[in-house]
Structure 1
Amino acid sequence: MRWAALRSLFCGGGAALALALLLQGRPVRADIPIDVSSTDSLKSACKEIAAPMMEYYAQNQTEGIPGKLTDTWYVAGAMFMTLIQYWQASGDNQYNSVVSHDLMFQAGRNYDYFDSNYSRWLGNDDQMFWGLAAITASETGFPQVDGKPTWTTLARAVFQMQADRWDMSSCGGGLDWQIHLWQDGHTMRNSISNGGLFQLAARLGHFTKNTTYLEFAEKIWDWSVDSPLIQPQNGWFVADSTEGKNNCSDSGDMQWTYNYGTYLAGCAYMYNETRSEKWLNATTGLLARLEDYFFPKEYGSNVISEVACEKLHTCNRNMLCFKGWTTMWMAYTAILVPQTRETIVPKLQGSATAIGKMCDGSSTLVPETNLCGNRWYQDSFDGIQGLEVQMAALGGITANLMLLTGTTALTIDNNPNAQEHYTDTSDDEATPGALPGITTADRVGSWMLTAIWGLGIAAASWWLIKQ
């Protein structure tokens, strides 16, 4: 079963939320005028889009727990990643206190985004998005939280934990989608988990100048190319997943923007750091495939679309997010690899213009605001509403703002705030340790713990019945 299909099973109610339609007779609202050449216009559009997103965030927190949304955990982490990048590009700090508090709150007792409240059912990709939020905070110089570890420390902790899960039991390596043996998908290697760790490692290496991270990023990339996940020989096709049970001899070939985007950004960071032709070729190859496939000619070739689900309105809440992250990762690429800017800029500008026309929705849940839908290529709101589509639209506009403001957050030599945060000596993991693989003993121990856990539940149930 492919990752996207599996993922939807774990998102109970997500599709219903994503496909909630506005009541008939809604008041007609004007769209958001966007001049892609004007920073003021883009900033204004971002403010209009972010406001209802934050209302949805407040309404959907699980029992008021900061950073925990109903039926999902990672989406809030991805939202914070988006908001941090928006803050850096725009200077709008009105949400910084919420982002700072909630991002740190969800770091957990060990500051690794793997708190026991959620770790029983988390996948590697869930944890990874919080790690990407943390490294984004590092790169942008996002304010630190007094008395807490630095954002870089949190990003390192996620990297180290995931690197330690590198699975040599089959396929010659790879990171599994799910973590625990009782989870469906614990033998599957998927692109977003491996691509996410690849990007995180590349960004840590680029930011800290520690070559150990760069070496591990290259290890993930080389493994991905040797597996069915990345296929340079097939026009840089990126598969969604491959199955460890079959020694990664097959692939799930559903096409999603973020699988391309996460590898693309990682390659861009690697090229910017090394200036190696290997990474330039990978960057341009992945970009060409992404631009050709996900910017359909029928919409003028300059508006991004999640083509696997948008036309049929079958995108679940996860899929609604993908292109927002991808557009920001494309902006990173244009900044880090100037050779790509010529083709990326019109794609991002066309998408931003389309977003402005489509964001003319309204709802009684978030009155007096412009809501954005999912189909950016439509000239008006398509009826899909929620945090996820607002986040995607915010990412799409922020990507253009990043290009116009000439962000330097991605190069620490030109970012004194980021440099200062990195040199914080309280960060006691300056060098990542050895990265042991998962052994047979680890697996046997995990099975034993699972069996003991199950027997404990059975014994407790028997005692309750007897009582």
Structure 2
Amino acid sequence: MSLIPVSPPALCSCPEAHETRQESIRNAAGTLAHGAMSYYKGNVSDDKELVGDLPDPYYWWQAGALWGAMLDYYHYTGDPTYNKVILEAILAPVNTGPHHDFNPPEHFDELGNDDLGFWGFVVMSAAERNFPQPNAALPSWLDFGKNIFRALSSRWDEKKCGGGLFWQVFESNPNGVNYKNTVTNGGLFQLAARLARATGEHVYADWANRVWDWSTARGLIGKKLVVYDGAHASDGCKRVNHVAFTYTAGIHLHGAAVMAEVTGDKAWEERAHGLLKAAAQHFFKDSVLYEPACEPSDMCNHDMKSLKGYLARFMWQSTYHLPSLAPKVRELLEASALAAAKSCSGGKDKATCGQRWYTGGFDGSVGLGQQMCALETVQGLLIGQSQPPFRNGEIRVVRELDW
């Protein structure tokens, strides 16, 4: 992939060099976005349940993650190519569900509370950017976010471990009905923080504090702010699973940065910086982003191959809310973007992305997750020229498509 050096040559500080660099990044992001969207077939399939969803082996939650990445793509690049498909996908009844809270019966067989977090991130991004919502018969993006929050918070369980959400929703799903994990509770935490900022209502900030306090009290977020995977409720969450994944760190980092902005509390600023420091120590090899829990052993499943992209997404977006994070974020993700671009040199198109960026090139591992990871990391380089998220008083419902 042709991505010019992130830093212009030292001998030239001219505006032309900067604009050439920006255009190169936009072109690279466009190539990556096209690669990611090639995995989506719901807009051409006769199967209505595939509208907004992905074919096997990808789960429904990853579809929500894809639409979040594509909303980011439009926001950073201004390219509206995929916007109508994005709208159709997110607003499809098979995704929003009968109660407009993204609990659709069609996906009950794979529905987890962590899935709701990712669809919640999608609708909150749409709300915070005043992305058009042309269907007046459906809730606004912000109301969708409130509905998802209501569904999640109603499942908060005090009986085991003194609080927290279970990974899964239904007892019929044997995977995770006894497990309280940080991706699920982190989703509630971040959603609460963003709703607090978007609405000005204290109830959401109170919930963000509640989830954070419970997670730290149970050791799911360690003293050095490493975010661990979770704990089993069968023993009162006494034994923490100390595996750490990239995306849970990113989810909590973004939420903490938002809370720092909302509250002005120095404690939240310190937490955000601590989370970034921990992420830098655990998830970067020679300043290149990687998934230490599975990449070195080549044991990543399809879900895991997409996780570091969400850390990149939330690292970039945390800088909107807490600008003091920006120097370290840029240092890490500029190097990672160059490494990602070098890895995206495989396939017949010579633009298919690999997984292990630290190898210095294409490693032969391909898939949707690999494309999304590179996309989120590269397109975030354009954040400096993007509109920060709107907040309470600035968010409005836009019915007209203005692309």
Q: Same fold (TM over 0.5)?
A: yes
Q: Deviations over 1:328-373 (max 9, x none)?
A: 100122221122222111101001111111111114xxxx361011
User: Quick one: which of 356, 374, 389 aligns to 1:409?
Assistant: 389
TM-superposed CA distance for 1:153, in Å, is: 1.2
CA distance in 2 between partners of 1:312 and 1:78 (Å): 25
CA distance in 1 between partners of 2:4 and 2:258 (Å): 30
CA distance in 2 between partners of 1:62 and 1:388 (Å): 25
Q: Is contact 2:130-2:390 (8 Å) kept?
A: no
Q: Deviations over 1:416-457 (max 9, x none)?
A: 5xx2229x9xxxxxxxxxxxxxxxxxxxxxxxxxxxxxxxxx
Give the SS at the match of 1:237: coil
**Corresponding position: 1:81 with 2:51:** no
TM-superposed CA distance for 1:162, in Å, is: 0.4
**Aligned letter for 2:307?**
F
Q: Deviations over 1:284-303 (max 9, x none)?
A: 1111110011112xxx2x21
Q: How does 1:237-248 map to 2 (within 5 A)?
A: 237-248=226-237
Give the SS at the match of 1:229: coil
- Match of 1:280? 269
Q: Deviations over 1:208-254 (max 9, x none)?
A: 1111111111111111111120112xx22221011111111111111
**Aligned letter for 1:245?**
S
CA distance in 2 between partners of 1:62 and 1:191 (Å): 37
- Match of 2:330? 345
CA distance in 1 between partners of 2:45 and 2:162 (Å): 40
CA distance in 1 between partners of 2:350 and 2:199 (Å): 41
- Match of 2:79? 92
CA RMSD of aligned residues (A): 1.9
- Match of 1:420? 396
Q: Is contact 1:32-1:360 (8 Å) kept?
A: no
- Match of 2:201? 210
Unpaired stretches in structure 1, ≥5 consecutive residues = 1-30, 425-467
Residues 62, 250 of structure 1: CA spacing in aligned structure 2 closer, same or farther, 3 A cutoff?
A: farther
**Corresponding position: 1:69 with 2:59:** no
- Match of 1:389? 370
Q: Is contact 1:191-1:229 (8 Å) kept?
A: yes
Q: Is contact 2:75-2:386 (8 Å) kept?
A: no
Give the SS at the match of 1:180: coil
CA distance in 2 between partners of 1:244 and 1:399 (Å): 38
Task: Say which structure, 1 or 2, has more relative contact order (CA 8 Å, 6+ apart).
Answer: 1
CA distance in 1 between partners of 2:158 and 2:22 (Å): 48
CA distance in 2 between partners of 1:358 and 1:411 (Å): 37
- Match of 1:450? none
CA distance in 2 between partners of 1:322 and 1:159 (Å): 22
CA distance in 1 between partners of 2:313 and 2:164 (Å): 26
**Corresponding position: 1:224 with 2:205:** no
Residues 352, 265 of structure 1: CA spacing in aligned structure 2 closer, same or farther, 3 A cutoff?
A: same
Q: Is contact 2:40-2:53 (8 Å) kept?
A: no
Q: How does 1:120-131 map to 2 (within 5 A)?
A: 120-131=109-120
CA distance in 1 between partners of 2:226 and 2:297 (Å): 23
Unpaired stretches in structure 2, ≥5 consecutive residues = 8-20
User: Quick one: which of 315, 327, 339 aligns to 1:354?
Assistant: 339
Q: Is contact 1:174-1:223 (8 Å) kept?
A: yes
TM-superposed CA distance for 1:154, in Å, is: 1.1
Q: Is contact 1:170-1:247 (8 Å) kept?
A: yes
User: Quick one: which of 138, 158, 166 aligns to 2:156?
Assistant: 166
Q: How does 1:227-306 map to 2 (within 5 A)?
A: 227-232=218-223, 235-296=224-285, 300=286, 302-306=287-291
**Aligned letter for 1:131?**
G
Residues 34, 108 of structure 1: CA spacing in aligned structure 2 closer, same or farther, 3 A cutoff?
A: farther
Give the SS at the match of 1:169: coil
Give the SS at the match of 2:269: helix
User: Quick one: which of 130, 137, 141 aligns to 2:126?
Assistant: 137
TM-superposed CA distance for 1:392, in Å, is: 1.2
**Aligned letter for 1:36?**
V
Q: Is contact 1:81-1:132 (8 Å) kept?
A: yes
CA distance in 1 between partners of 2:192 and 2:389 (Å): 17
CA distance in 2 between partners of 1:205 and 1:159 (Å): 11
**Aligned letter for 1:43?**
R
- Match of 1:45? 28
Which portions of structure 1, spanning 4 or more consecutive aligned residues, are displaced by more than 3 angstroms?
59-64, 410-413
Give the SS at the match of 2:180: strand
User: Quick one: which of 316, 319, 324 aligns to 2:301?
Assistant: 316
Q: Is contact 1:61-1:67 (8 Å) kept?
A: no
Give the SS at the match of 2:98: coil
Q: Deviations over 1:382-435 (max 9, x none)?
A: 111122211111111122222x3143125566xx5xx2229x9xxxxxxxxxxx
TM-superposed CA distance for 1:120, in Å, is: 4.2
CA distance in 2 between partners of 1:412 and 1:224 (Å): 27
Q: How many pairs were matched up?
A: 378
User: Quick one: which of 331, 346, 353 aligns to 1:372?
Assistant: 353
Q: Is contact 1:303-1:351 (8 Å) kept?
A: yes
Q: Deviations over 1:243-285 (max 9, x none)?
A: 1111111111111101111111100000011110120111111
- Match of 2:167? 177
TM-superposed CA distance for 1:119, in Å, is: 2.1
User: Quick one: which of 20, 31, 56 aligns to 2:39?
Assistant: 56
CA distance in 2 between partners of 1:331 and 1:133 (Å): 16
**Aligned letter for 1:213?**
Y
**Corresponding position: 1:32 with 2:2:** yes
